[in-house]
């Protein structure tokens, strides 16, 4: 994948300038935080904000009631999905990452991850990349567009006793797979989306959902079809 760098201030405005967090000052603060983090992508908040007042404002921002995961991410996801509607081929690569905070002081309030002994979050992401061409080995080359969708869960252990109805109504991990595709709908003519996922997504309900919305097992060029799951429109 190739990368095209733009100034942090321009990137932050493009990705988060249309955020709707209920207050214009919050919207501006989000853009400011994104700019500083883009300028120091491998650093922590204290490293990104040398000025104490700016750092304190950043911490206060994340603690406000009107700020949540979905609201912060919404403008970036909307821009990514719109970009993927331009003519071309796009890979939508989906997988889950475990954010492990088992050693943190506040771990008791976090979700149950891994084998049940860990504490943290399950971050499920769908990354969009535009295919620019194919190598001689028939491997795709492209440019990362952005997050097509992302879902953060704090899984809880199943109750010791529950009715059949409660069991069926309980949120399940499998529900996040391909959820971004369902929310975005089908691409317009001239734009082709290729959904790629690993073996964790190998279950009947996802295949049925994909088929009902016009997706099919992909048999296009390239070794990407060797990946466990590859579907396209």
Question: What does the domain layout of the chain look like in residue ranges?
Answer: 1-67, 76-157+173-233
Q: Quickly tell me which residue has 């969009």 as its tokens.
A: 128
Q: What is the pLDDT of residues 82-137, one digit of tens each?
A: 999 999 999 999 888 888 988 887 777 788 888 778 888 889 999 999 999 888 88
Token output for 131: 């295919």
Whole-number Å distance between alpha carbons of 51 and 79: 31
Whole-number Å distance between alpha carbons of 124 and 148: 11
For residue 215, the model assigns a pLDDT of 62
Residue-level length of the chain: 233
Dihedral angle over CA of 219, 220, 223, 228, nearest 10: -40
For residue 225, the model assigns a pLDDT of 38
Whole-number Å distance between alpha carbons of 228 and 142: 20
- Pairing mode of beta strands 191-197, 140-153: unpaired
Percent of the chain with pLDDT over 90: 36
Q: In 111-217, which ranges are continuous DSSP H helix?
A: 164-169, 179-184, 204-212
Tens of each residue's pLDDT in the chain, 233 residues: 555 578 999 999 999 999 999 889 999 999 999 999 999 888 889 999 999 999 999 999 998 888 999 999 999 999 999 999 999 999 999 888 888 988 887 777 788 888 778 888 889 999 999 999 888 887 888 899 999 999 888 877 666 676 766 665 666 666 777 778 778 888 888 888 888 887 776 666 666 666 666 666 555 544 333 333 444 55
Q: In angstroms, how far is the first alpha carbon of the chain from the final one?
A: 22
For residue 223, the model assigns a pLDDT of 39
For residue 204, the model assigns a pLDDT of 66
pTM of the full predicted structure? 0.79
| CATH topology (fold) of 76-157+173-233 | Transposase Inhibitor Protein From Tn5; Chain A, domain 1 (3.90.350)
For residue 76, the model assigns a pLDDT of 95
- Pairing mode of beta strands 88-100, 191-197: parallel
Q: In the chain, which ranges are continuous DSSP H helix?
A: 8-16, 24-39, 45-48, 52-62, 69-83, 164-169, 179-184, 204-212
For residue 159, the model assigns a pLDDT of 64
For the structural domain made of 1-67, what CATH number should be given? 1.10.246.40
185, 191 contact by CB (below 8 A)? no
Conformational region of residue 164, where left means phi above 0, alpha means psi within -120 to 50, and beta covers everything else: alpha
Backbone angles phi, psi at 171, to 5 degrees: -55, 140
């Amino acid at each position: 994948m190739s990368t095209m760098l733009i100034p942090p201030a321009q990137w932050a405005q493009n990705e988060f300038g249309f955020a709707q967090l209920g207050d214009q000052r919050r919207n501006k603060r989000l853009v400011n935080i994104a700019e500083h983090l883009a300028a120091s992508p491998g650093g922590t908040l204290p490293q990104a904000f040398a000025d104490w007042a700016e750092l304190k404002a950043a911490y206060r921002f994340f603690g406000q009631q009107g700020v949540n995961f979905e609201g912060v991410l919404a403008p970036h996801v909307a821009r990514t999905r719109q970009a993927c509607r331009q003519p071309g081929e796009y890979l939508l690569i989906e997988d889950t990452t475990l954010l492990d905070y088992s050693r943190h002081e506040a771990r008791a309030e976090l979700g149950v991850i891994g084998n049940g002994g860990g504490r943290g979050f399950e971050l499920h992401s769908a990354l969009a990349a535009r295919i620019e061409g194919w190598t001689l080995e028939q491997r795709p080359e492209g440019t990362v567009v952005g997050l097509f969708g992302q879902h953060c869960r704090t899984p809880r252990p199943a109750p010791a006793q529950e009715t059949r109805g409660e069991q069926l109504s309980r949120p399940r991990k499998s529900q996040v797979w391909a959820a971004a595709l369902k929310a975005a709908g089908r691409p317009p003519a001239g734009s082709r989306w290729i959904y790629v996922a690993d073996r964790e997504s190998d279950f009947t309900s996802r295949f049925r959902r994909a088929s009902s919305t016009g997706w099919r097992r992909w048999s296009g060029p390239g070794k990407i079809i060797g990946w466990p799951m590859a579907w396209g429109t």
